[in-house]
A and B are shown apart, each in its own frame.
Chain A
Amino acid sequence: MTAAVAVAARDGGSRPFAGTGTLLRFALRRDRVTLPVWIAVTAVMVLSMPGTLEGLYGTAAERADLVGQLRANSALRAMTGPLLGDSLGALTAWRVGVYAAVLAAGLSLLTVVRHTRDEEESGRDELLRAGAVGRHAPLTAALLAAAVADAVLALLLAAGLSAHGTAGAVAFALGVAGAGLVFATMAAIAAQLTESARAARGLTAGTLGAAFVLRAAGDSGTADGSSPLTWLSPLGWAENVRAFTGERWWVLAVPAGAVLAQGAVAYALAGRRDVGAGLLPARPGPAYGRLGTAGALAWRLQRGGVLGWSLGFLVAGVVYGAMTKGAAELLADNEGTREVIARMGGEAGPADSFVSAMVGTLGMVAALYVVASALRLHAEETSGRAEPVLAGAVGRLRWAAGHLVAAFGGAVVLLLTAGCGYALGYGRDLGPILAACLVQVSAVWVVGGAAVLLLGLLPRAAPVAWAVAGAALLLGWIGPALDLPGALLDLSPFAHLPKLPGAGMEWRPVLVLLGLAGVLVATGVVGLRRRDVGG
């Protein structure tokens, strides 16, 4: 980090790092629940994989057979990356490596933004900075907190996987931690650019999503991760270390270089701006306003999110569609693979099952949107902004309704946008793809309903809705690979959806989910009308 330190010393005034240790301890204390839980979930997901695989494919011959079948499957490669070896370690790295890297990246970016821009935006940071705290201490403490978390995760992964080859275990752990640090420093840059923590998180998480899509597109086209698209993605770097399959240690220099470069940029930006300000100055607004209702206010607050997410879903849809097209062409040339995948996908054609899997992923990501959007109500309430609005002639229901329409309606818009993009990229009929997207709405709304229920009945626990969406995502992505019991997998609303467009439409589960969502929302709203606000 010498470059970063040099920049920091130039722009940070005297003793720019004073107080970093205290702030770091303070940050770790504040995150004493979040970080261990997140690390534990990630570690358990990875470390339980070898045992599961061994149970399913005990002998080397069975595994070699499996690898032979899966290696050419571009759809699977898009989801998990290339499969290069048949050892238990190699299979584990293939099956969960990308997801471990995504989780480390998410953990790191949220930690950095929470301890930098979040603190500045709320003004809590000012009181700390008024103490004997150097200009760069808060940023450094935030980065170190993320680094501590990534290091603990890496240690757990390396130790837990060492039975399958020490070199491979260390390479895998470093790849995952490297992805974490890349997104930690990226979040550090975003936190300097934007004035709001929400925007900083959105910017970095959007980059993470783009990295996933880039890597998926690259890997669906090549069998060994050598596509330039994969190399453009920080998530592709971890995969290209090739843990357990002839480690390429030099690849780790790529994330290391990115961390140094991004860190230097973040410190340079931090030294050039005022505390509390972004790099883009706030422009004056209108002296008179047109907003006149709680609904208009809600839309004004939510529209940026709906637009941003829609754009992301459109791009993801187009890329996924293009991948499906490529995969379908590849499959048409290969009789054997077609048979294998047709068997796996039941009666559906392989391309259809690919569409179904991709649309399912989009649905689970839309569940994150619905939670983010519904929890706006929570933010409005805890910040005190809701109070003067509710002191106006605005009922609780009207106040909540605007935000809930944006959350639940916005989710539909996102999925339809993604569907249109998908059809465009795939070059096929819009109808069946839109139908597959719309089916997701019922499960997305159930997750949104859980958020509303919490908001109404247990407002302090409202952020737990994130865990609900996260659990649905994890169960859907890696639950089946972990060979979890069916009852556990069935906890996710997404597990019950008909697999359109290949499989036939089943109305019963969709209607049951819609009914459940309705009950959750109604109960939450009744609770919201009866309880104390703010308090």
Chain B
Amino acid sequence: MTKAISVAGLHKSFGRTHALDGLDLEVETGEVHGFLGPNGAGKSTTIRVLLGLLRADAGTARVLGRDPWADAVDAHRRIAYVPGDVTLWRNLSGGEVIDLYGRLRGGLDGRRRAELVERFELDPTKKGRTYSKGNRQKVALVAAFASDVDLLILDEPTSGLDPLMEEVFRHCVAEERARGRTVLLSSHILGEVEELCDRVSIVRRGRTVESGSLAELRHLTRTSVTAELAGPPDGLAALPGVHGLDVRGSRVRLQVDTGHLDAVLRSLGRSGVRSLTSAPPTLEELFLRHYREQGAER
């Protein structure tokens, strides 16, 4: 199966700022791929290169098997894009913009458009200026989900949506996957990514620092354990893979690399466990670890 997006060693500078510094990204056809990273990590720059709006200084990029700069128009017939900050024309109605965006791509499915307008509770007769941020995003989302395309590139598409509409959005993405379409989802909302994405790539400072399926990535993360013990803990600090050990009397909090969980539980058991909570590794922790590392480097 061909890759929907294939990027290797991408570089892009704006003056002295190195926005992209050798970024890699592989998106398989038919998957929902999460694209994560702190603000200014280079996510939107990557997306703009993939759309042929920016020209990369070095590196290779293929989108749907095409060169995004040289074959932009052909590639765009099969791509729908939703920017993070949607701006509309003040004197055009939302409905007019939806139809325009659709026609500028591969065309629009009229029935799906009507259904989506209903589900997103969008009033398509309002003019551009009168929409709120969330409603402007709905205009772009309806156009994207109703378009006849193979790849959806969504750049923080839910930042202005309320929780109900976010739910509608998640259903829509799931439907897209069921129809065999590929989605590149740049997002800060980790619950959304965990629920929707098959694989994720985490970028930092213009470089990919982690990439893989969520199961693979979870393996790299730590489980949080809080325990109330019968007696004082013994030898926990010496165990491999234990981090952030905090003992207050008989109360113990620690984090452990998932591979070393077994040894820790046995050690706790020796002291007699009265209560135990264990939080599974979340994407959030993985995410925070990479964000904090960046903070520490600064």
Contact = CB atoms under 8 A, between A and B. Distances in A.
Interface size class of A (residues with CB under 8 A): 35 or more
A395 B75 CA distance: 11
A535 B54 contact: yes
Interface stretch (A39-47, A142-150, A289-297): A289-297
Nearest to A391: B81
Question: DSSP majority for the A interface?
Answer: loop
Interface string A281-300: 01111111111111001001
Contacts of A530: 55
A390 B79 CA distance: 11
Nearest to B103: A292
A301 interface: yes
A224 B85 CA distance: 59
A293 B103 contact: yes
Nearest to A389: B104
A533 interface: yes
B113 to A, nearest CB: 9
Contacts of A535: 14, 48, 53-54
A301 B128 CA distance: 13
Contact of B76 (A196, A289, A393): A393
Contacts of A395: 72-73
A460 B112 CA distance: 40
A533 B54 contact: yes
A534 B19 CA distance: 14
B105 interface: yes
B74 interface: yes
Chain B interface size, as a band, is: 35 or more
Interface in A190-212: 195-196
Given A285-B127, A384-B83, A195 B90 contact: yes
A385 interface: yes
B105 A285 contact: no
B126 A297 contact: no
Given A282-B130, A285-B95, A288-B95, A393 B74 contact: yes
A471 to B, nearest CB: 30
Nearest to B110: A288
A162 B167 CA distance: 74
B33 to A, nearest CB: 18
A512 to B, nearest CB: 35
Contacts of A390: 51-53, 72
A288 B101 contact: no
B185 interface: no
A55 interface: no
A393 B103 CA distance: 9
B171 interface: no
Given A289-B97, A385-B89, A532 B55 contact: yes
B135 to A, nearest CB: 14
A485 interface: no
A387 interface: yes
Interface string A229-250: 0000000000000000000000
B88 interface: yes
A533 B53 contact: yes
Contact of B90 (A196, A291, A293, A387): A196
A276 B87 CA distance: 16
B54 A289 contact: no
A535 B92 CA distance: 25
Nearest to B140: A388
Nearest to B12: A532
A291 B95 contact: no
A394 B104 contact: yes
Contacts of A14: none
A478 B53 CA distance: 44
Contacts of B55: 530-532
Nearest to A301: B89
Contacts of A387: 48, 51, 53, 81, 83
Contacts of B81: 387-388, 391
B101 A388 contact: yes
Contacts of A383: 87
Interface in B91-113: 91-93, 95-101, 103-106
Interface string A511-535: 0000000000000000000111111
B176 to A, nearest CB: 17
Contacts of B126: 282, 284-285
B275 interface: no
B22 interface: no
Interface in B1-50: 14, 48
A401 to B, nearest CB: 14
A446 B55 CA distance: 30
Interface string B113-138: 00000000000111101100000000
Contact of B92 (A285, A293, A392, A394): A285
A378 B98 CA distance: 23
Contact of A289 (B72, B96, B129): B96
Contact of B93 (A196, A289, A531): A289
Contact of B85 (A276, A301, A384): A384
Contacts of B105: 392-393
Nearest to A390: B53
Given A300-B92, A393-B73, A289 B53 contact: no
Given A195-B129, A384-B87, A387-B83, A394 B76 contact: yes
Nearest to B53: A533
Given A391-B53, A393-B77, A532-B54, A285 B96 contact: yes
B108 to A, nearest CB: 10
A180 to B, nearest CB: 29
A287 B129 contact: no
A300 B93 CA distance: 12
Interface string B233-263: 0000000000000000000000000000000
A532 B53 contact: yes
Interface centre among A286, A385, A391, A530 (most CB of B within 10 A): A391
A221 B72 CA distance: 61
A288 B96 CA distance: 5
A196 B92 CA distance: 13
Given A286-B95, A534-B48, A534-B53, 8 more contacts: A282-B127, A285-B96, A292-B103, A387-B53, A388-B86, A394-B73, A395-B72, A535-B14
26 contacts: A121-B129, A195-B129, A282-B129, A282-B130, A284-B93, A284-B126, A285-B91, A285-B127, A287-B93, A287-B125, A288-B124, A289-B98, A289-B99, A292-B103, A292-B104, A293-B104, A301-B89, A384-B87, A390-B52, A390-B72, A391-B79, A391-B81, A392-B104, A393-B105, A394-B104, A534-B54
Interface of B: 14, 48, 51-55, 72-74, 76-77, 79, 81, 83, 85-93, 95-101, 103-106, 124-127, 129-130, 140, 153
Interface of A: 121, 195-196, 276, 282-294, 297, 300-301, 383-385, 387-395, 530-535
4 nearest CB pairs, A to B:
A392-B104, A285-B93, A289-B96, A292-B103
